[in-house]
């Protein structure tokens, strides 16, 4: 079966199958435009795509996949050093899109012309062939290229179709970047495999989501928080079928606000660049704030302690989440050392995330082991629980909690808070009244904003720099 099954087989020439901002193509137009790009790429093994939120990016990525090339999305806002690293490290032979700034040595540039068409056919590559090389934003060192096969992407999308009852009757609306798993694999390749129409709204503003008329909406917590803060926009989503949140934990107050304003309890899911999506709540099941559901078909998970011993599925035991299954990547490009560090001797992938699993199989992600599991005075404390407690205060707009060195406790709970008219002692007492006393912050720092990456994740390592 072709990776892009629907696109490969559709004869639908009706306009508007794939829309980005105010431009669109039918299924047939998209296949023929991408076919023209694929013709240009015959014999190319790896192709970089300047991944702007545009139809050109969609056509370029699809053209690369039709040609059987490994596609390397390049963030459009990448600085010269990051851009040069991605292009050189990936070995991209061609760049689809505009050239980079002066002084950056790009490979040969081929523009994507949406007016060109081709009916040429290209053989479907082996399912084990590389589809994408996505560069991860690690906390140390230069980004690494995660190699994702066509088989892994297909397994992920088919699993989500099962979990979310995702069909050709859906209209997917989102405004996510097109160089990550969420926006590109789920948000573009998903419709092209499963047949739902796609409306990428451009900049992900609440008014654009409200006007998109989708049945299925994707967003990150930052987007959902902004939508919840504009009740008129949120109420326009009542006609949707499913709201999906991912890429970071959705704060419980935002979950509650969306449920009240839209009539929908959001579906949360969990995944990484290296694993694609592995765990999700289901469209036909409950949605519980603070949890991400159960493993997708074909995925297995376990939680282990520091020695690698399995922990009980009792909803309380916190340990590293490890996964295995058909959605996993093939490794880091030319980095066998990094590969070895992520795999256990018995073949499981180490996510580096801390989680609990309940008796019913429901997963709760505590956060990254390096930043979100705080060991203070002999207690193991999840940063997310303290963040949710802070966000329940009416004056708190954003909160991030980390462990910082303490001479007696080992680590102390330090909170960074964005809000109005707040005092440190007030917030410490507020948390202590909700949670165990040992979970209260020892220090609260009031800041104007929290540092975030393109997907809205708080970059906690930057909070403690300097």
pLDDT per residue as tens digits for the range 400-443? 898 888 877 778 999 999 988 898 889 998 988 888 777 889 99
Lowest-confidence segment of 8-22, 232-246, 298-312, 418-432 by average pLDDT: 418-432
Residue that is last in its domain, among 93, 123, 149: 149
One domain, residues 398 and 451: yes
Residue 54, helix vs strand vs coil: coil
Grade residue 143 by pLDDT with cuts at 50, 70 and 90.
Answer: confident
Does residue 147 contact residue 68 with C-beta atoms inside 8 Å? Answer: no
Domain co-membership, 444 together with 412: yes
| 103 and 30 both lie in a single domain | yes
Within this chain, do residues 15 and 46 fall inside the same structural domain, yes or no?
yes
Each residue's pLDDT tens digit, 307-356: 889 999 999 898 999 999 999 999 999 999 989 999 999 999 999 999 99
Which of 149, 181, 216 is the endpoint of a domain? 149
Domain contains 50: yes
Does residue 255 fall inside a structural domain?
Answer: yes
User: In the prediction, which pLDDT does 327 show?
Assistant: 97
Worst-scoring range by mean pLDDT, 62-66, 223-227, 284-288, 383-387? 383-387
Q: Which residues, at least 6 apart from 115, have a Cβ–Cβ distance to it below 8 Å?
A: none
Any domain includes 187: no
State which of 126, 149, 172 marks the end of a domain: 149
* Shared-domain flag, residues 93 and 13: yes
pLDDT over 80 at 103, yes or no: no
pLDDT digits (tens, 9 = 90+) for 168-221: 999 999 999 999 999 999 999 999 999 999 999 999 999 999 999 999 999 988
**Pairing assessment for the beta strands 396-406 and 410-419 based on DSSP bridges:** antiparallel
Please, are residues 279 and 362 in contact by the beta-carbon 8 Å criterion?
no
Report the distance separating Cα 268 and Cα 250, nearest Å.
8
What pLDDT, on a 0 to 100 scale, did the predictor assign at position 436? 74
Confidence band, pLDDT 50/70/90 cuts, at residue 106: confident
Does 414 lie in the same domain as 443? yes
* Residue the block writes with tokens 């297909």: 154
Q: What's this model's pTM, rounded to 2 decimal places?
A: 0.85
Per-residue pLDDT at 454: 65
383 within domain boundaries: yes
Pairing, β 242-245 against β 171-174: unpaired
Q: Number of folded domains in the chain? A: 3
Same domain, 236 and 307: yes
For residue 443, being part of any structural domain is answered with: yes
CA angle, 402 as apex, 463 and 219 as ends, to 5°?
75
Contact 254, 219 (CB under 8 A): no
Binning pLDDT at 50, 70 and 90, where does residue 286 land? very high
- Which residue's entry shows tokens 């609440």? 206
What pLDDT score does 267 carry? 97
Asked if residue 419 belongs to a domain, the reply is: yes
Question: Is residue 293 assigned to a domain?
Answer: yes
One domain for residues 133 and 209:
no
pLDDT at 115 over 70: yes
- Give the separation between CA 68 and CA 45, rounded to whole angstroms: 8
Q: Same structural domain for residues 203 and 351?
A: yes
- Angle between helix axes 383-391 and 252-262 (nearest 10 degrees) is 50
Token readout for 95 is 């760049």
Pairing of strands 443-446, 410-419: parallel
- Give the structural domain span for 345: 197-331+340-368
Least confident span in 15-29, 117-131, 375-389:
375-389
**Residue 355 and residue 398 in one domain:** no
Cα(320)–Cα(302) distance, integer angstroms: 8
Instruction: Answer yes or no: do 62 and 118 share one domain.
Output: yes
Distance (Å) of CA 328 to CA 78, 233, 322, 325, 349: 26, 37, 11, 6, 8
CATH number of the domain within which 452 lies? 3.30.300.30
Q: What is the CATH number of the domain that holds 327?
A: 3.40.50.12780
Indicate if 234 and 355 belong to the same structural domain: yes
Does a structural domain hold residue 188? no
């Amino acid at each position: 079966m072709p990776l892009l099954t629907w696109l490969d087989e559709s004869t639908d020439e009706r306009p508007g199958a794939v829309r980005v901002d105010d431009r669109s193509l039918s299924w047939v137009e998209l296949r023929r435009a991408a076919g023209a790009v694929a013709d240009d790429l015959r014999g190319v093994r790896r192709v970089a795509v300047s991944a702007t939120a545009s139809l050109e990016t969609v056509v370029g990525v699809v053209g690369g996949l039709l040609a059987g090339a490994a596609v390397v999305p390049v963030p459009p806002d990448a600085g010269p050093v990051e851009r040069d690293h991605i292009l050189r490290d990936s070995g991209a032979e061609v760049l689809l899109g505009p050239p980079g700034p002066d002084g950056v040595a790009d490979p040969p540039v081929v523009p994507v012309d949406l007016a060109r068409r081709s009916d040429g056919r290209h053989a479907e590559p082996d399912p084990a062939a590389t589809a994408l090389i996505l560069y991860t934003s690690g906390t140390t060192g230069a980004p690494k290229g995660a190699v994702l096969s066509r088989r892994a992407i297909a397994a992920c999308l088919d699993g989500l179709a099962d979990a979310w009852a995702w069909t050709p009757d859906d209209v997917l609306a989102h405004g996510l970047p097109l160089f990550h798993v969420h926006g590109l694999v789920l948000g573009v390749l998903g419709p092209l495999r499963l047949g739902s129409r796609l409306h990428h709204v451009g900049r992900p503003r609440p008014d654009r989501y409200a006007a998109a008329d989708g049945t299925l909406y994707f967003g990150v917590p930052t987007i959902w928080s902004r939508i919840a803060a504009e009740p008129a926009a949120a109420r326009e989503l009542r006609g949707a079928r499913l709201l999906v949140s991912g890429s970071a934990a959705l704060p419980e107050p935002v979950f509650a606000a969306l449920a009240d304003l839209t009539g929908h309890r959001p579906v949360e899911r969990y995944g990484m660049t290296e694993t694609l999506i592995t765990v999700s709540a289901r469209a036909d099941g409950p949605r519980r704030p603070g949890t991400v559901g159960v493993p997708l078909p074909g995925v297995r998970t376990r939680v282990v302690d520091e020695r690698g011993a399995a922990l009980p599925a009792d909803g309380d035991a916190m340990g590293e989440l490890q996964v295995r299954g058909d959605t996993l990547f093939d490794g880091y490009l030319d980095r066998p050392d990094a590969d070895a560090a992520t795999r256990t001797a018995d073949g499981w992938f180490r996510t580096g995330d801390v989680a609990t699993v309940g008796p019913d199989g429901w997963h709760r992600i505590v956060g990254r082991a390096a930043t979100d599991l705080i060991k203070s005075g002999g207690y193991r404390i999840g940063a997310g629980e303290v963040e949710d407690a802070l966000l329940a205060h009416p004056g708190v707009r954003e909160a991030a909690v980390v462990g910082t060195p303490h001479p007696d406790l080992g680590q102390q709970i330090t909170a960074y808070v964005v809000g109005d008219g707040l005092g440190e002692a007030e917030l410490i007492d507020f948390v202590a009244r909700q949670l165990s006393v040992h979970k209260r912050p020892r220090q609260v720092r009031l800041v104007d904003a929290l540092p975030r990456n393109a997907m809205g994740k708080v970059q906690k390592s930057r909070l403690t720099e300097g």
